[in-house]
Structure 1
Amino acid sequence: MAAYLDRSDEHHDDASGATGAEPEPAVEPEPAPEPAPEPAAEPAPDGDAPGPRLAALAHAHGVDTAYDPGDGAPVPVRAATLVAVLAALGVDAATPEAVERSLAGHRAAQAARLLPPCLVVRAGRRTAVDVPATARLTVELETGGEWQLTPGRSHWLPADLPLGRHRLRLALGDRTESAVLLVAPDRLAPLPGRGWGFLAQLYSVLSERSWGMGDLGDLTELVQWSGAGLGADFVQLNPLHAARPAPPGVPSDPSPYRPSTRRFADPVHLRIEAVPEYAHCTDRAALEDLARRAARLRAEVLEHDGLIDRDAVWTVKREALELLHTVPRGPGREAAYRAFVRREGEWLEQYATWCALAEQHGPDWPHWPKGLRRPDSPQVAAARTELAGRVEFHRWLAWQLDEQLGRAQQAALDAGMAIGLVQDLAVGVHPGGADAWVLQDHLAAGISVGAPPDAFNAHGQDWGLPPWRPDALAAAGYAPLAELLRSAARHAGALRIDHVMGLFRLWWIPQGRPATEGTYVRYDAEAMLGVLALEAHRAGTAVIGEDLGTVEPGVREELTARGVLGTSVLWFERDWTGSEGAKGAPLAAKRWRTGCLATLTTHDLPSTAARLNGEQVMLRHQLGLLARPLVEEQEAAAAELADWRAELLRLGMLAPGEELDQRALYRFLLATPAQLLGIWLPDTVGDPRPQNLPGTWDQYPNWRLPVADAGGRPVTLEQLAAAPGPRAVAEQLARPGRTTPPRDPW
């Protein structure tokens, strides 16, 4: 069995600082040892604990056979779960005989290979490739040219290989093999200094020019105001991925975390007037009528305390975009469009084809006519020709989005932002959407991603998203992941990775089973992180990992060592090792991580105003979401606030008798070493409502609320810019050497 081992003597200190728990030391990954022979006979899998042979087969494919729910007592995974998960990996484990055949086949395949399908190594480190001494190795560089490696007992990849996607070729007698060789940075470049910025859900930031929801024109205004006007360094956004269209008569899913594709943005975000062809459209009467309809949608939200209706917004915008698409492009615009199409290549072609087919056959490709269910089928090729006009329209929409996103990021940099846009990459995609159709050979069929049971949720979580197949990713040289990251980072100063722990392992749930009957499947974290580091380096972007929730020991330390920032929310930062025992006292400011984005709240948590005044408990009570009686929940919430008030009093950040408020909490965040400070934009005007209330669907208007004031009245972007709250926050957080620009006297 071929293996590649890191021979570097380097090590990384944990630069994160203490996090309240005793970290386990990170260890270098090593090749998994072959399992010892076990008795061949064992009972057929029946849903109970697995036998040793099934367990050995699971481990050989990176499938865990037990998990820790958080109390340190491992829970065994049911045999039926292992059988289903292995089947999704293309491994037959349905009977004891099948288990034996699969084990033997796996070992034979491993022994027969001279090279793994893909090697991911770090620049600056010598790496040994374990192959026969007489083998000849050649590295073909992606930029052209070759490096011949000297034969010996083992072969060493030199430390000065250039960054990039190369190919390693091996010759041994009359045998030849090749593998993708990725050379990644050992660590991402550090940020230029400490900075702060806003966290915003773009759809919720409406201006007086919006067509019913916040758009990319509003984003450009937002970054210009917050950068040049307030001295902010970034704006972190919700995922802008294209949503899966809903069947006729059914409202679309407003969640930005279950998209149709993560590769392309949603055209509902387009600013219609910013499309260059708008100025040349001769049907002004039609455009004016559409603008009047859009104004009514905007008024419904802003003047009547309404909710954002994406479907209605898209209906009006689509009519406008169909009209603008017919406007002839000048030679320069045409050349730019063709260059975009060439750059995006096959993935754009397939995505646009999916969109055209979805218009005819509905948004769930598994229910399409059989011949259309694979993007490489002759029937799809014929349909692409038949639907050429619709395919072209969706290609054009993707181009318009790329242009407007690029202008927004450039506007952020021109406004003095050190980072600019922080784009959010969702953890997965809808199983019936475009990416699941295009990437079906790289995603696990019949499997959903989620979270195991723990102390906070005894039922676990099922997110309804198909996971990457680790074996298929490796076989493809991680090209699908690289292309996705490259696209996400193109117009971003930083990339936020939702559930970054998924680069190490994901909780797989077989279709039809509850979330409690899943198991963790391991990924090659060294390879996944290497691909991320390479693409982020090439794009010049920082990376922020959303590492909230259950995090395996060593994961945060490894992310820190690679230069990936974490996410720290004040209310979760507790010293679980102190004298307070299970309760955990507030973690001292100096013990927070340096490498993190520190904030008071996120889109999935109560607003700071609601947490301080207790409204968050009452809201959950009214919706029947409390796990304990109301009085107990209120007492627990009050005790949490009392803990933080006592900590701020101790530090002199709060005077005796002074109420705990946002400004005091920001003083605490400033006292931490966190590199980035994130301010939830609705907090600056006292909005009490969460954007998303986990555990609800139609009981609460998730992902549909405009930014509002303390009374729940919608606030436009223009009103935000004139409100005292944002400027007060900016003055408090202004980084050394950069003062908040003075208020414009006009």
Structure 2
Amino acid sequence: MTLNKLDQAAQDAGISLRFINAHGESETISDETKRALLAVMETPTGKAPPLPPVQVFAARSKRQLTPQGSGTFSWQLQTEQGKSFSGEVQGGELLTLPPRLSQGYHLLTLRKGRQQWQTRIIIAPRRCFIPESIEQGEKLWGALVQLYTLRSDDNWGIGDFGDLAHMLEKVADYGGDFVGLNPLHALYPAQPENASPYSPTSRRWLNVLYIDVNRLEDFQRSQSAQRWWARAKTRQALEQARAAEFVDYSAVAELKLTALRFAWQRFQPRAADDASFQQFIVEGGDHLRYQAAFDGILAERSQQHPDEWGWANWPEGWRNALLPEVQQWCAQHEDEIQFWSWLQWVAQEQFAICCQISQELGMEVGLYRDLAVGVAQGSAETWQDPELYKLGASVGAPPDRLGPQGQNWSLPPLDPHVMRARGYQPFIDLLRANMRDCGALRIDHVMALLRLWWIPYGESADKGAYVAYPVHDLLAILALESQRHRCMVIGEDLGTVPKEIVSLLRNSGIFSWKVLFFEQHGDGSYRQPHEYPAQSIASASTHDLPTLAGFWGFKDLSLGHKLGLYKESVLIPLLGQRDKQKQALLDALHQMNTLPARQSKVASRVSFTPLLNRGFHRYLARTDSALLGLQPEDWLAMTSPVNVPGTVDEYPNWRRKLSVTLEEMFRGKVPGLLTAVNTGRRKR
């Protein structure tokens, strides 16, 4: 079938001309959407060079290239290790790379006369890193923690890296091997109410509100800081922030940034002589500098324009990091840039200490981080690199039964053509920033490695189209960085997963996610523990789903109805479906003998008791998944969710704390529950 010019251009750019909708029907993308997305992309134009900007070779693939053109080319290959190879090749003929070329990043230079072209050569392993104990069949478990929800006797109203260290110690005490975390990406300390960890300002830097101020020697030894700390007003504000049911981000930010500026004033005279800090500045380069500048400018502007959101609302001369007005501000505010850079250094140092603690405790995985699918429209990332992020589009999901209008996440997509033109360096930098100091990385919406639903800016989600990403190249680079960092990879593959990526993820050593609520057979019965694949992480729930107690008590459905998410006509069938799910779950627990025989076998007569909770945890402990992640909310039988998808202001998302402090949590029924889990995981 011959395509018209528009369809051919769209297909060449990676825009799918049609997709399978929620009803299983093929749906065609409109011409308006194709034109809008083509206008957004940086598709290659002009005469193609003899070689592409990057060539990725996976394990055992033939390492050959064919320079396009005629005549004789001379070539030189400079390896990452500093070795050099050279030779000549005719245009149109195969160029075979040197044998036994090591895994890594190499540079191939092609010359003809006065012209030269460079290609990055990437040699990658076949699979991502997997710890030897898991390869040997060990079954590990750990906690899945939204860090900001942690309460403690010492924190300042939000969970911090000090609490994380405490959590690691307690989980390790009961035999756990990891603590999984929400995205720790940088947010907006000057506008702290923008609190979603999945809409960050940068995925390469950290949220500085997680700094444990108590552990900073410069805060403890600053006389000014200690005078401020001793004031009744400060102590009262701290106690209020600590006692609040939901994280009061504004109060937390005001307390922490005040304290951190005191600490900085004491550290600043030593900054130029601190080798570790100066190395951090050098390694961070312009990316760190402009992240710090963005934070500084945002802090300055927020004092005068508290309701202003995103750099797009700044004066025109300030809407790009490289504009003269911004450069002048940077030259005049070096101390401010140093302050925000120092905060990133402190955050990174404290997180690295947590990683070290996990290793000292003998935890097999230790920490695992979460990589969000993108950054916010008005973020520091888009401000300093607008070419890479396509601001004329947003990513989301097409319409389905639960969301008839589709989803628009207000996150601008990465342009796959720009990534490729840059030798995939932005993707490599992103992985390196998130794989450091941890044993596993969870990739949110892992299907984004294959395709993303792009929506032209300003349009509704149903006006979008799928855009393809170079999945084989990205998976190869992911495997290479995973092996180098000894960091296993978990892919969030819930929902509709394209068939073409399932085997790719499995063969690449990426772990799947298996949520108890969803693991049903076609007849509605729940999968038995032995049916869970080894290359997966099992969990009862996630941050986007109800807790175990909330699920059992219909709390999520009643809350959704109250918030206007479910009309009565939708709610009634959902309640009926939940009744069937509960009965099927209870049947599964009895079948596996994780509940006493005396426990009623009729779900409608069973309330969510500690006995039932333990039955769920014992059931999950027996799954064949190599990893099991458990939420403290479920240990505590909490019913309120931390996030309600589809809401913005209707519910206090990303704010609900745990019901008790860390100190209290490990004194009640939780130790017995975790002991039962550990026993179940260790049985072989």
TM-score (norm 1): 0.83
What pairs with 1:64-463 in structure 2 (closer than 5 Å)?
Answer: 64-90=16-42, 109=47, 112-131=48-67, 134-148=72-86, 151=89, 153-158=93-98, 160-172=100-112, 175-191=115-131, 192-193=133-134, 194-227=139-172, 229-245=173-189, 252-283=193-224, 285-289=226-230, 293=234, 296-299=237-240, 301-302=242-243, 306-328=245-267, 334-362=274-302, 364-463=310-409
Instruction: Please state whether the residue corresponding to 1:327 is helix, strand or coil.
Output: helix
Which residue of structure 2 lines up, in the alignment, with residue 27 of structure 1?
none
1:623-658 deviation line (CA, Å, top 9, x unaligned): 232253544332211101112222333444445552
Indicate conservation of the 8 Å contact 2:174/2:678, yes or no: no
CA–CA distance in structure 1, aligned partners of residues 656 and 281 of structure 2: 35
CA distance in 1, matches of 2:273, 2:363: 29
Mapped contact 1:168–1:180 kept (Cα < 8 A): yes
Give 1:524's aligned residue: 470
The range that moved more, 201-210 or 184-193, is: 184-193
Query: Is the 2:219–2:226 Cα contact (8 Å) retained in structure 1?
Result: no
Shift of residue 263, structure 1, vs aligned partner: 1.2
Output the CA distance in 1 between the equivalents of 2:383 and 2:672: 46
- Corresponding residue for residue 589 of structure 1: 529
Q: Does 1:542 align with 2:488?
A: yes
Does residue 704 of the first structure (1) align with residue 655 of the second (2)?
A: yes
| Whole-Å separation in 2 of the counterparts to 1:317 and 1:283 | 15
User: What is the alpha-carbon distance in structure 2 between the residues aligned to residue 295 and residue 409 of structure 1?
Assistant: 33
Q: Measure how far apart 1:175 and its partner are.
A: 4.3
Deviation at 1:138, TM superposition (A): 2.8
Q: Which amino acid aligns with 2:140?
A: G
**SS of aligned partner of 2:494:** coil
CA deviations 1:130-180 (Å, max 9, x no partner) are: 236954443211221213367584123356221222112223465432111
| In structure 2, C-alpha distance between the alignment counterparts of 1:333 and 1:287, rounded to whole Å | 28
1:542–1:291: structure 2 CA closer, same or farther, 3 Å change rule? farther
Shift of 1:325: 0.4
What residue identity is the alignment partner of 1:129?
L
TM-score by length of 2: 0.91
Q: 1:635 to 1:301 in 2, by over 3 A?
A: farther
The equivalent residue for 2:306 is none
Query: Partner of 1:25 in structure 2?
Result: none
2:665 matched residue in structure 1: 720
Further displaced range: 362-371 or 440-449: 362-371
Matched-pair contact (CA < 8 Å) for 2:129–2:489 = no
Change beyond 3 A, Cα 1:330–1:171: closer
Q: Give the conservation status (yes or no) of the 8 Å contact 2:365–2:440.
A: yes
Counterpart residue number, 1:637: 578
Query: What are the ranges of 5 or more consecutive residues in structure 2 without an aligned counterpart?
Result: 303-308, 604-611
The C-alpha deviation readout for 1:388-441, integer Å capped at 9, x for no partner, is: 111111011111101110111111111221111111111111111111112211
Following superposition, the deviation at residue 284 of structure 1 comes to 5.0
Kept in 1, the 8 Å contact 2:188–2:295? The answer is: no
Gaps of 5+ in 1: 1-35, 39-51, 92-104, 709-714, 740-746
Tell me whether 1:672 sits opposite 2:612 in the alignment. Answer: no
Match of 2:418 in 1: 472
- Give the counterpart letter for 1:258 in structure 2: S
Shift in alpha-carbon separation, 1:730–1:590, aligned structure 2, 3 A: same
Residue 8 of structure 1 is matched in structure 2 by none
- Note closer, same or farther for the CA distance 1:314–1:446 as it changes in structure 2 (3 Å cut): same
Change (3 A) 1:391 1:407: same
Partner of 2:606: none
- Report the more deviating stretch, 261-270 or 135-144: 135-144
Distance 2:204 2:669 in 1: 38
Shift of 1:683: 0.7
Percent identical pairs in the alignment equals 32
Contact 2:164 2:354 (C-alpha < 8 Å) held by counterparts: yes
SS for the counterpart of 2:573 is: helix
Instruction: Find the aligned partners of 1:265 and 1:290 in 2 and give their Cα distance.
Output: 30
Measured at CA, do residues 592 and 370 of structure 1 come closer, stay the same or move farther in structure 2, by a change above 3 Å? Answer: same
Equivalences, count: 657
Among candidates 503, 506, 522, match of residue 452 of structure 2: 506
Contact 2:190/2:299 (<8 A) preserved: no
Maintained 8 Å contact 1:62/1:523: yes
Alignment of 1:618-637 (within 5 A): 618-627=558-567, 628=569, 630-637=571-578
Q: Deviations over 1:357-401 (max 9, x none)?
A: 222345522232333322233332221111111111101111110
CA contact (8 A) 2:125 2:479 kept: yes
The amino acid of 1:240's aligned partner reads: L
Q: Distance in 1 between matches of 2:631 and 2:681?
A: 22
Q: Give the AA of the match of 2:260.
A: L
Call closer, same or farther: CA 1:291–1:182 in 2, change over 3 Å: farther
The 1:301/1:280 distance shift into structure 2, 3 A limit, reads closer
Q: Corresponding residue for 2:635?
A: 684
State how far apart, in whole Å, the 1-side matches of 2:434 and 2:190 are: 24
- Partner deviation per Cα, 1:279-330 (whole Å, 9 max, x = no partner): 331225434236963564444553xx63210111010111111111011465
Shift of 1:546: 0.9
Question: Once superposed, what is the RMSD of the aligned Cα atoms?
Answer: 2.5
- 1:610 and 2:550 are equivalent in the alignment: yes
Match of 2:185, SS state, is coil
